[in-house]
Amino acid sequence: MTTTLITGANKGLGFETARRLVAAGHSVYVGSRDPGRGRRAAEELGARLLVLDVTDDASVAAAARTVEADGGLDVLVNNAGVEGRGEANGIVGAADTTADTLRDLFETNVFGVVRVTHAFLPLLRRSTAPVVVNVSSGLASLGGMSDPASPGHFYPGIAYPASKTAVNMITVQYAKAFPELRVNAVEPGFTATDLNGNTGVQSVQQGAEIIVRMARVGRDGPTGRYVDAQGSLPW
């Protein structure tokens, strides 16, 4: 049976991804930094809770030891993320962006991805079909953000798009370093979740589609790609 960990799976896209992968027969760990929220989600899903704060070395190391003792890991979905909105749920614009704005956001969205991947890599490398899905964003695309015709072009913030561009580069470099792994970055699309105050235009069912698809790629599947449900995106 395929064993899968999804970080930040107590709600939103991570929760929906967990629901779909449980239905597809995966044995799923619901990663959650809050034990109460995680337990409720895991019980609802028929999945296992794994308490894991992606910003905390000790929490991630303990989680990796638990999964190793349970038997290992095949699929890692780095989903946990924050947008770092300011007052009244507004996007922090360029003029108000400070080094601390980026540092806070990178701690979760970028360093969190590396912290978790580094800790679980030894387990993944023992799998016969190891897969990593990094949940990126369309706002990561340098090509898209430079093109006025692209939907994300007028997004005013700096920190969130920059963090996801870093996730894309991390994806490319891991994919090259570990050709035995399938490592891909996905753009779920603008989805109504707490991350954006539920302003997203599509459902979590639609958004989770590409995350689930890339979590299920086989050993001969793509790696080092940046995709949404329609296909490849410009870096």
CA 2 → CA 36, 80, 99, 216, distances in Å? 26, 21, 40, 9
Q: d(Cα 169, Cα 130) in Å, to the nearest integer?
A: 19
Instruction: Return the residue matching tokens 């969130």.
Output: 160
Spacing of C-alpha 173 from chain mean position: 16
Task: List binders of ligand NAP among 12-31 (CB under 6 A).
Answer: 12-14
Catalytic residue flag (residue 164):
yes
Residue closer to ligand NAP (CB basis): 4 or 7? 7
Q: d(Cα 54, Cα 195) in Å, to the nearest integer?
A: 16
Q: Which residues of 46-82 are buried (b: 16+ CB within 10 A; e: fewer)?
A: ebbbbbbbbeeeebbeebbeebeeeeebbbbbbbbbb
Task: List binders of ligand NAP among 92-131 (CB under 6 A).
Answer: 108
Q: Which of 6, 28, 53, 182 binds ligand NAP (CB under 6 A)?
A: 53
* Closest CB 179 distance from ligand NAP, rounded Å: 25
Residue closer to ligand NAP (CB basis): 65 or 125? 65
Q: Which of 106, 174, 190, 226 binds ligand NAP (CB under 6 A)?
A: 190
Q: Does 180 bind ligand NAP (CB under 6 A)?
A: no
Q: Which of 159, 34, 182, 73 is nearest to 109 (CA)?
A: 159
Helix (H, G, I), strand (E, B) or coil at 121: helix
* Closest CB 172 distance from ligand NAP, rounded Å: 18
Q: Which of 2, 11, 217, 221 binds ligand NAP (CB under 6 A)?
A: 11
Q: Does 70 bind ligand NAP (CB under 6 A)?
A: no
**Which residue ranges make up the site for ligand NAP (CB under 6 A)?**
7-8, 10-14, 33-34, 37, 53-55, 79-82, 108, 135, 137, 188, 190-191, 193-196, 200
Q: Which residues form the catalytic set? A: 160, 164
